[in-house]
Amino acid sequence: LSPSEVQTSYLFERRENAPAPAPIPPVSTADIVVVETTSDASKRAPLRVVLPRLICFLLTIFLFLFSVGASPFFVSSSDQPAAMLKGYLVYYIFLFVSVFLGLFLNVLCWLFTFRHSDKSLQIRVLTGLIFFSSLLIVAVPFLDGVPSKLTHLSEDIHQIDQGETLEAVVFFHPNTKKASLPELNESKFLVELRGIGASTNGRWVSFFVPYSLRFTMDNNALYSENRSVEWNLENAAQYRITYTEHFHLLTSVERIS
């Protein structure tokens, strides 16, 4: 036999004498374990962090925008002076609560997603911008002086309820315009009148008349800035008014004969 034939015969004999391979045990589906790779986990972590925070942030913006434009739901042009002030008071409380509810939701989202926080710089910057934007939205009521408005509204309502409004006798300027209460800048449910007299120390002062008082000036006895004081005292109509201290909202007005 040639050397190659001898080697082939030897290998064939080894294969025949080799032990049979052990059988492979069956694998049940319960034994299958899905291993999540590091790359998959890193891809899902940003969604677990950013998505809830972004949703809470958008909800905060919605609450803020809705509450800012919600004053017509609380105040009507037909309201009496006290009812109008109370409507504004409830509206600003609603604005205050809505904005802080948005901040509370953002804080909850941050706490629940903290354990999934990603260490990448991009995710940290994005979530930081969302959080500080929420803080800025919450700061708006303070920047706009809402706490002081609530105080002034409460004090003016107390004045009306207790009959402690201020009183003055004034001439009214013939020019009028629609207006909102000072400091509030909401819907223009009022008429702004400028009055002058001894009670105002000879200076023009703005007063605000609700439509519910149904006040109209006497067009035959209007004040004239081009005439002397004596002429106006003899020919122009004077009005006795009662009004609130902070917002100068008229609660009553009558002409003095």
Determine the average pLDDT of the residues in 118-144: 62
Average pLDDT score, the chain: 76
pLDDT interval class at 114 (50, 70, 90):
low
**Own/partner long-range contacts of 183-187 (Cβ < 8 Å, ≥24 apart):** 183/145, 183/148, 183/149, 183/152, 183/246, 183/247, 184/88, 184/149, 184/247, 186/71, 186/75, 186/88, 186/91, 187/71, 187/72, 187/75, 187/77
In 3D space, the residue among 218, 215, 250, 209 whose CA is nearest the CA of residue 236 turns out to be 218
pLDDT of res. 26: 61
Comparing 162 with 106, the larger pLDDT belongs to 162
Is the model's pLDDT at 118 over the cut of 70? Answer: no
Place of tokens 């804080």: 107
Please tell me the predicted confidence (pLDDT) of residue 41.
47
Provide the whole-model pTM: 0.66
Number of other residues whose CB lies within 10 A of the CB of residue 133: 14
- pLDDT at position 99 is 74
